[in-house]
Amino acid sequence: MAHAPDGAEPGKQVWVGLQLAHQPGWHTYWKNSGDSGLPTQLAWTLPAGVTAGEIAWPLPKKIPIGNLANYGYEGTVLLPVPLTIAPDFKPSLLSNDLEVRLKADWLVCRKECVPEEGSFVLKIPVHSTTAINGAAFDAAFKAQPRPVLAATGGVIPDSKVQIEGNAIRLTVQGLPVALRGKTLELFPETPEVIETAAPWTQAWNGEVWTATVPLSPQRTGSPSVMPVVLADGAQGYRAELKVLGQWPKAEAAGTVSPALEAALRDNAGTPPPAASIGLLAALFGALLGGLILNLMPCVFPVLAIKVVGFTRHAADRRGHRISGLAYTAGVVLSFVALGALVLALRAAGQQLGWGFQLQSPAVVATLAALFTVIGLNLAGLFEFGAFLPSRLATLEARHPVGNSFLSGVLAVAIASPCTAPFMGASVGLAIALPAAQALLIFAAVGVGMALPYLAASLVPAVARLLPRPGAWMVVFRKLMAFPMFATVAWLVWVLGQQSGIDGAGALLALLVALAMVLWAFTLHGRARTVVATLSLACLALLAWTAGPSITRAQAPTPLAAGTDGWQPWEPGRVDQLLATGQPVFVDFTAAWCVTCQYNKKTTLSNRDVLADLSNKKVALLRADWTRRDPAITAALGQLGRNGVPVYVMYRQGRAPVVLSEVLGVDEVRSVIGAL
């Protein structure tokens, strides 16, 4: 929101702010969040000559959470920020507005917490007024604490904090006469100093207000001045208190007192999942999961390319060994690079999980175009040598190592969204491990995936199992084009889940135009020049007009409650259902996850499974991770997972039961029968 009642020219009063409207029971945090939580962060991008001040925090409320307490906001709150317009500020020549960009991050909590973010743009007219949000800003200004000043207008010199062992004694003078004798609320602005939820005492001695507050055993701050806010109802008063005395030695960072540990244990809702697997078990599971990835339909088309190349040069043993090692290097390094990227982005605050790249419509469309080109090449429509200069056309023959390495990279690009059996727990554990150990697990997945081809290239006995070269290779090569086109069909369907029917249609039109361009370059003479020019123009026009439909994210369509018994998952929904005594089964899925779709069409559609779920009155929730969803990412992390599929059975008072990635009917019925 913006509030510029006199315009946005130099010297005028200009305010901007983020307004948060909380759902019932949810809250965000003040500048000092209390025992847990994080304050809302605002990062501004402003034109030259404009600077943003600090948040003018409204008065918070104390939010008890079991044996802990936080400071924050419920309902609707506006966080106003003043803008200072310098005399040399000049609006853009193309616009008479002041453009304000905001990147905001906030943590919203109930029993569980969900990190959220938003990017916003406001254009404030420079020479005209902006006062439509005046009422909201006026309410926020009234909710701000007033400064406690002496009669002379200065800070009260006798207001202080006296350190007394493991407690502090606050003395505040200059408070309004109307407050005398009343019980006040205390909000210290300095975090991690007092025991937020502990009992404390206060008293009035004439016009002087005093209080004794216990220090936190995990105190990390030792300020020389403590700003505090005292509140009576909706009105607060801010005082800066000088600290007298010597702070006691703070406990080492990271230690947890028995009291806090007990409070955290008491506040825990659903018991946590079973203890995580060890590193050696995770490495073995990653290796085995990578091996099984070769059986996934999203990987098979790429392996088909390698099989054709392998049989083509059956007598070249040295070339086979080099090709196998290069392919393995491409697979392993790509898995490590993807793992490092996930770890780095999560460390920077991004809520990402395994397979995140297929949550981007642009990446999905690019892969669809790549597999279309490969499929048309295998089908014999064109040869790459016809498009390239002779030096580049012979690059594959002169540098087969690079070709094998890139084949490994391509295999990982399309395989990583799959989560094979034994792999889910390993990847979930890797996200929480130190970087070196985490990357070792990702490398193990790559070794497992590359192992079959590596064995065929290094062990003659394995290579002899392959058929001898012959005319069958031409037929086999063309046959392998169809798995490529099947992969394209799957990718178009995935894009349709993200960008809607218009996005899927636009991608299909572009792929047809791309195929026409490839065909045009196979012509000769003048026909090639004319047809290729027209087809390129058609492709460019389609990209310009239909391209935005591909990358435009469609608003998610809520899953209709009662459709086959499934309801949409949302934060807090599991707790709501468990509170009624009803067991809950959650399907964490995504359109780009082939294993998810297989399980959905088989086990989760099985009549016996559905009958058992109905008889036990199990609530069915489906968490769709096709698009990036930080709430679902956080929920997966709590289960020790970082990718889909994940299937979880919840029951009140018991630990969640996480099922296998590839579901079996007997496994699901066994879990249901134990309810």
| Residue-range domain boundaries for the chain | 2-144, 160-250, 279-551, 566-673
Task: Record the tokens describing residue 188, joined without a space.
Answer: 């210290």
Instruction: Sort 286 into a burial class: Cβ within 10 Å, 0-12 / 13-18 / 19+.
Output: buried
Q: What is the pLDDT of residue 619?
A: 92
d(CA 653, CA 638): 17
Q: Does residue 50 sit in helix, strand or coil? A: strand
Which parts of the chain register pLDDT below 50? Answer: 151-154, 252-261, 263-276, 349-355, 389-390, 392-397, 419-424, 558-563
CB 453 within 8 A of CB 304: no
Report the 10 Å Cβ neighbour count for 602. 14
Tokens at residue 495, please? Answer: 């894009």
Element at 622 (helix H, strand E) = strand 619-624
**Eight-state DSSP code of residue 215:** B
- Please tell me if the domain spanning 2-144 has the same topology as the one spanning 160-250: yes
Helix (H) or strand (E) holding 521, with range, is none
CA distances from 603 to 199, 566, 661, 669 (A): 54, 15, 12, 10
CATH 1.10.10 is right for the domain spanning 160-250: no
Distance CA 435, CA 416 (A): 19
Across-strand partners of 511? none
Helices (H), 379-399: 390-393, 395-398
β-pairing, 646-650 with 657-658?
A: antiparallel
Parallel/antiparallel/unpaired status of strands 619-624 and 566-568: parallel
What is the tens place of the pLDDT at every residue in 577-609?
A: 888 889 999 999 877 676 777 788 889 988 999
Asked if 228 and 170 touch (Cβ cutoff 8 Å), the reply is yes
How much is the pLDDT for 263? 46
Phi, psi (rounded to 5 degrees) for 243:
-90, 125
Q: Which CATH class is domain 2-144?
A: mainly beta
With respect to CATH, is domain 566-673 assigned 3.40.30.10?
yes
Task: Characterise 350 by phi-psi region: left (phi > 0), alpha (psi -120 to 50), beta (else).
Answer: beta
302 CB neighbour count, 10 Å cutoff: 23
Token couple for 58: 């409204």
Task: Give the count of alpha carbons within 13 A of 659, CB side only.
Answer: 25
